[in-house]
Structures are given as structure tokens and as C-alpha cells.
Chains A and B, each alone.
Chain A
Amino acid sequence: MLARIANNLFWMGRYVERVEHLARFMNVNYFSSLDAPTKLSRDRQFVLRSISKMAGDPILDDKELIEEHILYNVGLNPDKPYSILQGVKCARENANSSRDLLSSEFYESINKFYHFVMDYPKDYFVNSGLHDFTTHVTDQTSILKGKMRGTLLHDEIYALIKLGINIERATQIARIIKTKYEDAEKTAEVKNKPLKNSFEWTTLLKCTECYDMNRRLYKKTPTQLTALEFLIVNTHCPRSVIYSLNQIHKHVQILDPLKVHEKHSAAFLISKMRCEYRFKTVEEVQDDVKGFINQTLNTLVEIGAKLETEYFYH
């Protein structure tokens, strides 16, 4: 497998995963805020700032935001590197470069997805197409993952895509937790209510498609503790950070099973991080959630960089 192509496959996985989370975050935050219990949670400006921040473009001043602009930037603006459109474009470009290794079925899906996003009418999107567009994006990413699983050989090609997907997923979940944690802090501050019972925990779970299963497991309205426990350390939840780490651990070994014994290799770092997570309790995390999440994000960046030097640049 060519090193350059490995890089393409890895980043294709990352972009596919990235746009899925961004689209869902936009959708859930926008629509669930419409009937949120607190005034701040319902506030358009508050929601738009949260969306922009999640996309990677935090708004630092107090200026009045124009809804159409923010939605356009995050959804379809070709000049914003973080937009969904750019993400899909990058995913498809990476697929183009590795097209000979992918199944026609998978390629056709990603190609159709690309054309759907590129051709989506901008005016319709910012005025009334938000729900249609974002749900289509999340549906398409699911189809893509189904085609990956169902039509590709589960060899190193698949492992590289899965590595990209899971590193990105762990990263995006961590970023969503961080963004919603900060939102929860703000709403708690305004209402002078305890942080642990904020409405934002429900939104957080919905943003990650974990709300229903969380209710099933804990049988009560989500709290800070149950939401974080579910999303960080629950090994059965496919969106949790630990679940992604397990996947990363599994797939990096397909590339080279012996690398794990090499000090400071990507496989070594992943195993180490995974061990730390396995024996972490949510109670230990809760006093410094942001610190913990930042540390998680930094380690993921480090692992990504290691993978690049070990496999992508020979």
C-alpha cells in the first residue's frame, strides 16, 4: 500500500466523520433550542455562537450575528475550510486519489454525496433547508460507512479508513462535550441553577445520537454525570471516547502488530491512552471536565501526527 494513498484513505475517513458530526450538531442545536426551557438556550444568538464555535470558528466579540451568514458559513460556504461543503469536497478528493482501491459502489456513493452538497441551493438552505440538508448529510455518511463495511476488503485499506474515522470521532465527541459543557456553564450561570441538571446535557446527548440509549440505560433525565459517563467511558456506547479508542487500538494493529512494543510509536501511545481511559471513572473527571477533554484532544493530535510520520511519509 502506497504511503501517499494511506494518507488519502485516512483523511477521507476523517472528513466523512467530521461532516457527520458537524451536520448533526447544527441540526440538533438549532432545532432543539427552539423549545428549550431557558431563555438563553432559546436565544438565537447563543445557538449560532455555539454552532460557529463547534465548527472551529469561535466568535469572540459581542456583535449581533446574522443567522443566514452563520448557517451559510458552516454549511455551504466554499471559502470556509470548516464548512460541510469543504469537508465533503476533501473527502471526495481523497477518495479520488485512492479510487483504484475503493469499490465502485463506495465511490459512487461518495460521488453522489459530493454532487448533492455541491448542488444544494444556498438560498433554500439558509431559509428553510437546514433540516433537509443536515439530515441528508448524516444519512449519506451512514450509507458511506455501510458501503465501507459491506464492500471493502477488511484489510489494511479498511483499517486506515477506520483509523481516520475513529480518531476523528473521538476528537469530535470530545469537542462536542467541550462546547456543550461551556454552553451548560453559561446557562447555569444566568439562571443560577446547578450545572449538573442543565438542559444542555440532553442536547449534548442528542447531538451525538445517544439520547435514547442513555435514557434506556439510566431511566431518567440526563444529568452531567450520566451524560459524561455515557459519552466518555461507556464501552458499549459506539459514540463514546473509549469505544473509539478501542477501535483505533484494534485497527492500528492491523497495520503492524509489532509496533505496539516500540516506545512512543502511535500504537504504543494509543494503548497507553486506552489503558488510562479504561480505568477512569466519571467522578474523577467531573471536577475538571475541560482539563480532561483538552488533554484527550492533545493526545489525539499527537497520535495523528505519529501515524503520519510512521506510515504516510516514507
Chain B
Amino acid sequence: MESTSLKHLFSSYERNEKLFDEIFDKDNNVKQVYQKIFELYSGQSIDDFINLNNKSKSSFFNQGITFQVYNDDAKGHEKIFPFDLFPRIIDADEWKTIEQGVLQRSKALNRFIWDLYHNKHIIKAGIVPLELISSSSNYLRQMVNLDPPGGIYNHISGTDLIKHSDGKYYVLEDNIRSPSGVSYVIGNRNALKRALFGVFNHYQIHSVSNYAENLLEILESVKPKGVDVPNCVIMTPGVYNSAYYEHAYLAKTIGIELVEGRDLVVENDFVYMKTITGLERVDVIYRRIDDVFLDPLVFREDSALGVPGLFAAYKKGNVTLVNAPGTGVADDKAIYTFMPEIIKFYLGETPILNNVHTYHCSKPDDLKYVIENIQNLVIKPVDEAGGYGISIGNKLTKAEIEAVKKVVLEQPRKYIAQPIMSLSVHATYIDENKSFEQRHVDLRTFALLGNNKEFVLKGGLTRVALKKGNLIVNSSQGGGSKDTWVLKK
């Protein structure tokens, strides 16, 4: 059988001119950073590529880098998180902006949360409205006036970025509760190294394997007062959690215990874990369970995942929780719109990364613009979560546009509007068509903040929407991922 070259596959690559392509420029030329890899891939036949693709799939499967899917028969089926062999490449200059930008946001958010739970200067200054905070279910009154060790709330941040059709990065959201995905960054790199080791010789790529040791240093930097060498643990909801692989992976690579709530006990406001030789004190808990499940005595009474008395121990400063409880107040949609002001207020700096512009319908000028341009905007209610009540302008009929106008005009304060963002596209191998096609991608970055220490992983999780035209990259919606190379200077 005659093999067709990969380049041949690219010859059927359809470019939508309106979209920003990560690999090809406007004139259909391969961009400089991608030239070498494109050349190298072209030397391979389709059959070789299919073979490689299957091998990388089974590699993930055998390593147990999977998540569970439940069907009608109630039996869990294991699925791999689809992985694409064509990496995303980010050059050193572009990365510098991203790195500085996400760090800036993390720091500003940390100052912001501190302020919210202490003096509330930003509210007094009239920058962020009080209702936004008081109405937030993620604002924990138990955290008021509480000083977390090292003054850090959001030790671990996962900022999601997209590249718009203007070629600029925009922040989509900041995840500062317990962002996941970092194990896939490392898993993807390993898989790509196994599959395409020859390619790596031609690029100077930053390693992603130093995440674990940096995370440990961050955890140790926020140890409770009076502790010399802290005992750090990771707390997981258990093996049935969809991110369990990540919890186990991190515990293993950091070399610390992976505990569940039932392994911990609080005595005299100190936290201990139950070991084979009795109780052992725990100082820092990187918890991967939500605030509400932490402690049934303080939050949800029916929580079987948490530890009774944990919050009291935290309040006394005898244990550090990472991330701190109550950080969720700062990563919701409404707060997002104030991020540029928040950065200016606390750091006195101009935001490095763009926020998607937001029109507040409460402002007359903005309202006027929104009403005149609904077809080009996404209209969102400020107080709804989970995507409820969102209208995407270009998907609406004329009648629907009129209906939205009416609703917005009735209660303008309740609505915000944003331009419809276009995610950039990246060549992605599509199994069923045996060819490369344009697919939308985003980028999750991982930033760490500690006591006098900060770190941004030089890499990230490029998530790709595998369905044609789809903008939703989440794995639950059939999304996959790519290895992300950050080049050295």
C-alpha cells in the first residue's frame, strides 16, 4: 500500500480566514516556530502517524491516566482524555507576557481576597460594589479577620486564556478554588516524548517536570508558626473523584501522603493523620475538596469527605489549608469584570493580560451600545452561575433579540454584555477523517504563590474542542488536549 505523506494531509487542511490559526499565517505559510516540526512530520507516512497515535492512546490507557464515564448499565467505563500529537508552541517573548500576566493577576487576587476579609478598602473606595460580595455564596463569613499563614489565599491559580482573532491573549477566567489539569500537562509531555522523541532534539523546550518540587516549596513556605519541618499532605475526596489520578500523581511526585478526610482527626485543635504507628501531626493540607465539604461542624453538616474540627484548627493557626477557604468569592463571573480595576487598585499597575471587555448595562453609555449591538454580544445575567440565562447574540432570531432587549431594558443593572470572543484554532488530528483540521483551543496556565516565593509552570494545558466549530473545550464536552511547548530564548 502506498503511503501518503503527512503534508498531503495538510493539503486538505481547510483554513477559515476569519479565525486566528496558530500554525499558518494569513498567507497560508507555516509560522516560523512551527516550521521545523511541520517539516519533520511531513517525512512520516499517514500509516506511521496512525500507528503513533494508537500507541500514545494505549500508553495513556495502560498508565491509568483515565477518567470514569458512567453509562446506563451503571458500570464505570474508563476513558482516556483524548490527546493530540501536534503540540502547541509558544515562543519565549509571547510566553513572557503570559507568565507576567498570570502572576500579576494571582497577586492582585490575593490582595483582593485579603481586603475582602479584612478592611474592605476596595468596597469603601466604590470600586467593587458591596452587593456583589454580600450576595456571593462563596464569601465565607467564617474567614473574616482570619490571617492565613504567609498571608496567602490563592496558592494555586489556574488562569484560562484564549487567543482572539486579533491575535492577542485574553483571560477567560481565573480558577482559584482548586484548579486541576496539571498532571495532564506532564502526562502529555511524557506521551509526546515517547512518541516523537526525535522531534525534541530540534527545539529548546522548557521542562514541565519541576512543578512538583515547586509546589512542595510553596506548601512548606506557608507552614504554621512554630513548625520546623512541616508535614504536608494532599487531601482527596477519594478514588472515585474524576481528578483522582492527578491527586495521586502529585502526592507521588512530591513524595507526600495522599489522605482522605477519614484518615484525619482533630484533637485539641491540632490535625493528625492515622498511621500504622498511631497519630502523626499534619501541618499543611493541600486540599482538593470544596470549601463546603471541609468541616461538617462549620460548613455542610452532611459532609462525609471532611474532618470535624478542621476549621477550628485552621482558625487557631495550627494547620494551613491550601488554597485558603473562601477564595471562591474572587473567581466568579461578576468579579472578573472588575479585574483591571482590581489590579490597578492593589498593585498600581496596568493589567498585562487583556480582560474581555465588559459592558455594564447599569451605565447609560454601555446600555445604549448593548441595545444597538446585541447581535455581536453575549448577554449575561450577573447573578446567575453555570451558564444560565446567557444569550449569544449571533445565534438569536430577530424576535429573540427583541425579547432580550426588552428584558435588559427592564432591569439593566442585572445584565452585563461582552463581545463574542473567537478562540484561535490549531491543526488537530481528527481520527475519523484521518486528517488534520482546524479546531479551537484555549490555554490553562498554572501559577503558584507562597510566602516570598512564586512560580509559573512554563507550559500549560492546551485544551482543544474536538467537535468542528465547537468553542467548548471541556473534557466533559468531548474536549481533548495538546502538549504545550514554551520555547527557551
Contact = CB atoms under 8 A, between A and B. Distances in A.
B62 A314 contact: no
A2 B252 contact: no
A3 to B, nearest CB: 5
Nearest to A310: B276
Interface string A1-30: 111111000000000000000000000000
Main secondary structure of the interface of B (DSSP, over half): mixed
Interface string B238-259: 0100001001110110000111
A210 B262 CA distance: 44
A229 interface: no
A258 B274 CA distance: 20
Q: What bracket does the count of chain A residues touching chain B fall in?
A: 20 to 34
A3 B274 contact: yes
Contacts of B64: 96, 99, 107-108, 111
A291 to B, nearest CB: 35
Interface in B144-163: none
Contacts of B431: none
Given A2-B257, A3-B276, A4-B274, A112 B62 contact: yes
Q: What bracket does the count of chain B residues touching chain A fall in?
A: 20 to 34
Main secondary structure of the interface of A (DSSP, over half): helix
B275 A314 contact: yes
Contacts of B278: 314
A266 to B, nearest CB: 12
B250 to A, nearest CB: 8
Nearest to A311: B276
B62 A111 contact: yes
Nearest to B264: A2
B279 interface: yes
A311 B274 CA distance: 10
A38 interface: no
A104 B65 CA distance: 11
A99 B274 contact: no
B364 to A, nearest CB: 57
A185 interface: no
Contacts of A311: 276
A191 B63 CA distance: 54
Contacts of B273: 2
A307 B445 CA distance: 46
B275 A1 contact: yes
A104 B273 CA distance: 25
A311 B275 CA distance: 8
B63 A104 contact: yes
Contact of A100 (B61, B62, B252, B275): B252
B276 A108 contact: no
B248 A100 contact: yes
A108 B63 CA distance: 5
B62 A99 contact: no
Which 8 A/B pairs are nearest by Cβ-Cβ distance? A100-B251, A99-B248, A314-B274, A100-B252, A100-B258, A311-B276, A111-B64, A100-B248
14 contacts: A2-B259, A2-B263, A2-B273, A3-B275, A4-B260, A96-B64, A99-B258, A108-B63, A108-B64, A111-B64, A112-B62, A311-B276, A314-B276, A314-B278
Interface of B: 61-64, 239, 244, 247-249, 251-252, 257-260, 262-263, 273-279
